[in-house]
């Protein structure tokens, strides 16, 4: 069963704009500001980024669902290689989400940084961002992102094709050892078909159990990420209204 996290970047952004409008002493003025600029280059650029984030969110949810295996007829199919691939997909797509948030900050704060030069660290150090709610959010909840760990993991995947998940690596070695005992020419005595079948069944069960553990781990990490992202998007909506009121964009 799919367990897509209840999240919408577009919903978070416009939800905060609506809250700001309702809380304002001059709600009609805020409503006019939003309506007048809705079709502007600034607003459309933000909308495109929010839509891209929502599309990526769906992809990440599908990746997390696949940790439970895929149905093939009456069977559920999951191999250790597929599990490794899912971890790679999750880490890389999570990193892409963080990059998209950095790009969205650049757009909503109107920083003017070239797209190819944008990084989360760079926009976070910007003076205007430093004076915003973004920094307070990161101070209070940033550690939930495990940013340094996942950035290191992403780099290991992209540059070396390897994952940093020791549990999965160890299980992969167990599978390789079993294949070697059955098919390698360099072992003194190969195992029988029955022994291989029995050992394979045991390792398959172990693979599914570990996949469930990892699904819980990465899903929890993503849930925490979405909470931080939602708060940052709210801060960006507040910055939008601030720029509207100053007629800065």
Please tell me the chain's helix, strand, coil percentages from 3-state DSSP, rounded to the nearest 5.
Answer: 80, 0, 20
Q: What are phi and psi of 71, to 5 degrees?
A: -75, 130
- pLDDT tens digits for range 205-217: 999 999 999 999 9
158 has a pLDDT exceeding 60: yes
User: What are the DSSP E strand ranges found in the chain?
Assistant: 70-72, 75-77
The angle, 0 to 180 degrees and rounded to 10, between the axes of the packed helices 166-183 and 80-108 is 150
Mean pLDDT for the stretch of residues 170-187: 88
Confidence label for 2 from pLDDT (cuts 50, 70 and 90): very low
107 burial level (CB within 10 Å; 0-12, 13-18, 19+)? buried
Cβ of 140: how many Cβ atoms within 10 Å?
11
- Dist CA 135 CA 131 (whole Å): 7
- Report the range out of 68-77, 126-135, 185-194 with the highest average pLDDT: 126-135
Question: Is the pLDDT higher at 246 or at 249?
Answer: 246
Nearest-Å Rg of the Cα atoms of the chain is 23
The angle, 0 to 180 degrees and rounded to 10, between the axes of the packed helices 27-37 and 9-23 is 140
Contact 211, 1 (CB under 8 A): no
* pLDDT score recorded for residue 4: 54
Domain boundaries, the chain: 9-245
Query: Three-state secondary structure along 111-146?
Result: CCCCHHHCCHHHHHHCHHHHCCHHHHHHHHHHHHHC
- Which residues are 75's β-sheet partners? 72
- pLDDT tens digits for range 22-65: 999 999 999 999 999 999 999 999 999 999 999 999 999 999 99
- Dist CA 159 CA 99 (whole Å): 18
- Model pTM? 0.91
- pLDDT tens digits for range 76-97: 889 999 999 999 999 999 999 9
């Amino acid at each position: 069963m799919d367990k897509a996290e209840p999240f919408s970047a577009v919903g978070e952004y416009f939800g905060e704009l609506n809250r700001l409008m309702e809380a304002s002493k001059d709600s009609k003025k805020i409503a006019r500001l939003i309506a007048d600029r809705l079709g502007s280059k600034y607003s459309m650029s933000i909308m495109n980024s929010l839509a891209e984030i929502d599309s990526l969110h769906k992809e990440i949810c599908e990746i997390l669902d696949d940790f439970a295996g895929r149905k093939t007829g009456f069977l559920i199919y999951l191999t250790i290689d597929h599990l490794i691939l899912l971890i790679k997909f999750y880490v890389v797509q999570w990193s892409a989400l963080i990059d998209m948030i950095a790009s969205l900050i650049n757009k909503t704060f109107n920083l003017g940084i070239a797209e190819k030069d944008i990084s989360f660290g760079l926009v976070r150090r910007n003076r205007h961002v430093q004076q915003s709610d973004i920094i307070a959010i990161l101070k209070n909840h940033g550690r939930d992102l495990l940013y340094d760990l996942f950035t290191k993991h992403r780099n290991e995947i992209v540059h070396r094709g390897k994952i940093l998940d020791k549990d999965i690596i160890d299980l992969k070695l167990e599978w390789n050892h079993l294949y070697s005992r059955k098919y390698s020419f360099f072992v003194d005595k190969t195992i029988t078909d029955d022994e291989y079948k029995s050992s394979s069944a045991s390792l398959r069960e172990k693979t599914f159990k570990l996949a469930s553990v990892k699904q819980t781990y990465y899903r929890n990490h993503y849930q925490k990420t979405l909470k931080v992202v939602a708060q940052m998007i709210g801060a960006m909506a507040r910055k939008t209204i601030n720029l509207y009121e100053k007629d800065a964009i």
